[in-house]
């Protein structure tokens, strides 16, 4: 199975990171999410070419020592959890 993850825009509201760090967060989210999808469960509707227009992850608390990579890993886990469950009311469109 081949999985490609590309995030065009990652909105990071209220995270204490600068523009340069946001690129690290995005790259970490993409690589971690790709790794988790290759090794884990995924809902049937995401097993083909799929575009997810929006995903709002669960909130989390952070401390001042949280690194951009740690933020990215947490965000990827949140997204993966959402993709591992069947879609119910989420905005997504599949392409076949």
The tens place of each residue's pLDDT in the chain, 96 residues long, gives 677 788 888 887 777 888 889 999 999 999 998 888 888 767 666 666 666 666 666 666 777 888 999 999 988 888 888 777 665 544 444 433
Q: Are 63 and 33 spatial neighbours (Cβ–Cβ below 8 Å)?
A: no
**Residue numbers of the domain that contains 29:** 19-94
Q: How far apart are CA 50 and CA 96, in angstroms?
A: 8
> Is 88 inside any structural domain?
yes
> Is 7 inside any structural domain?
no
> Is 8 inside any structural domain?
no
Q: Which region holds residue 90: left if phi is over 0, alpha if psi is between -120 and 50, else beta?
A: beta
Please give the pLDDT value at position 80: 82
Q: How far apart are CA 56 and CA 70, in angstroms?
A: 18
Q: Give the number of domains in the chain.
A: 1
> Is 72 inside any structural domain?
yes
> Is 3 inside any structural domain?
no
pTM higher than the cut 0.75: no
């Amino acid at each position: 199975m081949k999985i490609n993850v590309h995030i065009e825009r990652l909105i990071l509201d209220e995270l204490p990171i600068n523009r340069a760090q946001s690129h690290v967060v995005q790259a970490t989210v993409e690589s971690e999410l790709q790794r988790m999808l290759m090794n884990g469960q995924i809902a049937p509707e995401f097993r083909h070419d799929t575009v997810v227009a929006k995903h709002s992850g669960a909130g989390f608390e952070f401390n001042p020592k949280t690194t951009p990579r740690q933020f990215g890993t947490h965000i990827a886990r949140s997204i993966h959890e959402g993709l591992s469950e069947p879609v119910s009311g989420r905005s997504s469109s599949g392409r076949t």
